[in-house]
Structure 1
Amino acid sequence: MNLSWMAWTLPTALFFGSILLLLITMAIWEYLSPGGNPRVGILHFETTRGDRLFVSLLGSAFIHLAWLGLVGPNLWWALALSAVYAIGVFRFV
Structure 2
Amino acid sequence: MAWMAWTWPTAIFFMVIAGLLVTFTILAIKFPETPRVGILRIETTRGDRLFITLLGSAFINLAWLGLIGANQPFALIVCLIYAAAVFRWV
Q: TM-score range by the shorter chain?
A: over 0.9
Distance (Å, rounded) in 1 between the aligned partners of 2:34 and 2:79: 24
- Bigger share in helix: 2
Runs of 4+ with >3 A deviation: none
Residue-pair matches, total: 90
Which of 40, 43, 47 is the matching residue for 1:43?
40
Uncovered stretches (5+) of structure 1, i.e. residues with no partner: none
2:53 is equivalent to residue 56 of structure 1: yes
Matches within 5 A, 1:78-93: 78-93=75-90
2:62 is equivalent to residue 65 of structure 1: yes
Uncovered stretches (5+) of structure 2, i.e. residues with no partner: none
RMSD of the alignment, in Å?
Answer: 0.7
When the two structures are superposed, what TM-score results if normalisation uses the length of structure 1? 0.94
What percent of counterpart residues are identical?
A: 60
